Amino acid sequence: MGEYSSKAQSVSWLFHVSLKVLLVVGVTESSSECGMAVTPSTPLVSFLERLQESALESFGKSKLDPKTYVDLPLKYPLSVTQDAFQKLPRNANGSVSVHDLNRFIQAHFEDAGDDLVYLDPHDFVPHPVGFLPKVKHPLVRAWALQVHSLWKNLSRQVSTAVKAHPDFHTLLPLPSSFVIPGSRFREVYYWDSYWVIRGLLASKMHHTALAIVTNLISFIQQYGFVLNGSRAYYTNRSQPPLLSAMIYEIYSSTGDMELVKRSLPALLQEYEFWNSDLHKVTILDAQGCTHTLNRYNARWDKPRPESFIEDKASASKFSSVSEKQQFYRELASTAESGWDFSTRWMRNPPDLTTLATTSVIPVDLNAFLLGMELNIAFFAKVTGDNSTAERFLEISDLRKKAINSIFWNANMKQWFDYWLSDTCEEVHVWKNGHQNQNVFASNFVPLWMKPFYSDTSLMRSVVESLKTSGLLRAAGVSTSLTNSGQQWDFPNGWAPLQHMLVEGLLKSGLKEARSLAEEIAVRWITTNYIVYKKTGVMHEKFDVEHCGEFGGGGEYVPQTGFGWSNGVVLAFLEEFGWPEDRNIEC
C-alpha cells in the first residue's frame, strides 16, 4: 500500500489473519503453492462428485450441468445413500445404466433447488411510490415495472429441512431471505449481491436489501470471510469484496445507523482475511518504495465440485499431481475473482491450462479494497471511533499510492494488472514489462473510487483513453478485445462492469465524462430492453458487438433471471431516466 511511515506501521495488525479466523475457517490440509493450506471437503460433497462422474458416464456430456448434481439434497442419511449407490448394477466398464441411475437419483434425492423456498417479499409492491421518476417513456416505464417484478421471482429463503438436517444438503443455512441471480445459480452470491441491492434500493425494497447483507455478515461470523456463495463447496474462496459498498448504499438510502454499528466488527474481520498472507503481496517499486497489494488466492487444490468433471478433463494434460493441484488452485482462484474465465488470467491465451491468477496482482481487486478502506473509515467516523477512522484513511492513502505506482501506465492512461514472477517470494521487485498491457474493462475500474474520479486532470486523460480503447461497442462496454470463447472476454458485456465505469464517470463531474456515461448507459438499457422483448427474460450477459443479442461462451449455457442485470438496468433508469421522445431501438 505504499512506503510505510512509522504511524502507518501501527496498523500492521490489520495485515495478519488472527488465529481465531484461521481456526474458524478450519484449514487443516497442506497444499501445493508455497505450503499454503487448503479447506477440507465434506463427505457429502465428495460423494456428490462421484455421482456427477457417474452421470457423465451414464448420460453423456450433452446437456449435463455438473452443478445440478452437487446441489441435490439427500432424502436419507449419506451412509444409506452411499450403500445404495454401491449396490447399483454396473456394466463391464463400471458405468450404471441410464435407467438404474435415474431410478437411484429419484429414490434418494430431492430435486436441485428443493431445499429453497420461494418467498413473497413483504416490502414488494407492484407500483412503488417514487419509483424511477425520470422515466417518462410509457413503454420503458412498463418494462421497468416488469423488471422490478422479477424480484418476486428471485426471492428465496432456506427451507426448514436444511436447518433440521444440514448434513443432507450442500446448501448452507442462512438467517434471512435473499435474492438469487437466477437459473443454475440457486443460492446467494457475494459480488452479485451488490448490484442486486442497487436495484432493490431503486425498487424501494430496503428490508430485502438489508436481509441480504445480514446473510453475508453471518458468513464472516462463521467462516471469517464472505463466501463465494451459500454452498458447502464454496467455503474455500470468497469473491470481489463489496460488502462494505452494499452497507454504504443501504446506509445512504435509509440512514440505518444500527446496521453500520453491527457491521463494522464484521468488516474489520473481512479486511483481515483479505490482508492475510493468503492474499497479501509485498512489492518494491522502481523508486525503492515498498507497497502492499493483494491478489486472488483460493484455499483449494482439487477440481471445483460444481465443475468437477470439466476441471478433471482440463487438468488431464498435466502429468504430475503437483501440477494438477496448482492448476486446480488457479481455477478456484479465478472463480474467486468473479471473472471465470478470461484471457486476462492466462499466461498463454487462449489456453485455459495456462491460468495463473495467483500470479496476478489485479487492478480491480485493489480498487475494491481501497473502497473497503474508505468505507470502514467512514463507518468508524459516523459511529464515533475516530482512531479507527484515521487509521483507515492512512491505509487508503497508502493503497492509492500503490495503485498508481504499480498499475498506472502514463503512456496508455490506464491501470494494468501486474504479473508476478514467483508467487513464493516474500518481497517482489517491480520489473518493467510485467504489466499486462492488454485492454480489459477492469483497467478502468479505479474510476469507480473517489480518490481517482475526483482528480479532474486524471479523469480527462482516462476518459480519452477509454474512448480510444476499443472497448466501447454498439451495445455497451466489452469485457476485453480478445474473442477467446470464454465468457469474460469479447464480445460479452456484463452489467457490473457497465455500472462501475458509468458511475465513476458520472461522479467525476466532468461534462465529457457525464456525456460518455450516459451514452454507455443508454446503449446498455437499449440492448437489455430489446433482448427482453425478444426472449421474455433478462439475461446474465450480453453481446455488446450486436445490439439486441445476449451473450454466450464459457463453461455453461447462457443463464436468465437475472439479478445483477435487473439491478443495473433499474439503477441506470433511476439515474438517467428515459425521456418520452427518446426511441428505444437498436
Write out the catalytic residue numbers.
340, 540
Neighbour count for residue 505 (Cβ, 10 Å) = 28
Q: How far apart are CA 565 and CA 185, in angstroms?
A: 14
Q: Single out the residue of 425, 332, 353 nearest to residue 39, CA to CA.
A: 332
Q: Give the three-class secondary structure for 506.
A: helix
Q: How far apart are CA 524 and CA 547, in angstroms?
A: 9
CA distances from 553 to 129, 476, 534, 558 (A): 40, 18, 20, 8
Q: Single out the residue of 302, 402, 320 nearest to residue 362, CA to CA.
A: 402
Please say whether the beta carbons of 417 and 407 come within 8 A. Answer: yes
Please say whether the beta carbons of 377 and 400 come within 8 A. Answer: no
Q: How far apart are CA 487 and CA 477, in angstroms?
A: 14
Q: Which residues have CB under 8 Å from 444's CB, separation 6+?
A: 414, 415, 462, 465, 466, 469, 471, 501, 504
Residue 159 φ then ψ, to 5°: -70, 160
> Could you tell me which residues are beta bridge partners of residue 429?
284
With residue 155 as reference, give the H or E element that holds it.
strand 155-158
The residue type found at 561 is: G
The residue type found at 403 is: I
Please say whether the beta carbons of 574 and 204 come within 8 A. Answer: no
Q: How far apart are CA 394 and CA 36, in angstroms?
A: 30
Q: To which residue does cell 478502468 refer?
A: 444
Q: Concatenated DSSP letters for 184-217?
A: TB-S-BTTHHHHHHHHHHHTT-HHHHHHHHHHHH
The residue type found at 397 is: D
The residue type found at 305 is: P
Q: How far apart are CA 453 and CA 497, in angstroms?
A: 16
Do strands 418-419 and 360-361 pair parallel, antiparallel, or not at all (unpaired)? Answer: antiparallel
Q: How far apart are CA 351 and CA 562, in angstroms?
A: 29
Please say whether the beta carbons of 211 and 124 come within 8 A. Answer: no
User: Residue 308 is placed in which grid cell?
Assistant: 468437477
> Could you tell me which residues are beta bridge partners of residue 480?
440
Q: How far apart are CA 238 and CA 369, in angstroms?
A: 13
Q: How far apart are CA 20 and CA 25, in angstroms?
A: 9
Q: Where are the beta strands (DSSP E) in 187-333?
A: 280-284, 290-294
Do strands 178-179 and 428-429 pair parallel, antiparallel, or not at all (unpaired)? Answer: unpaired
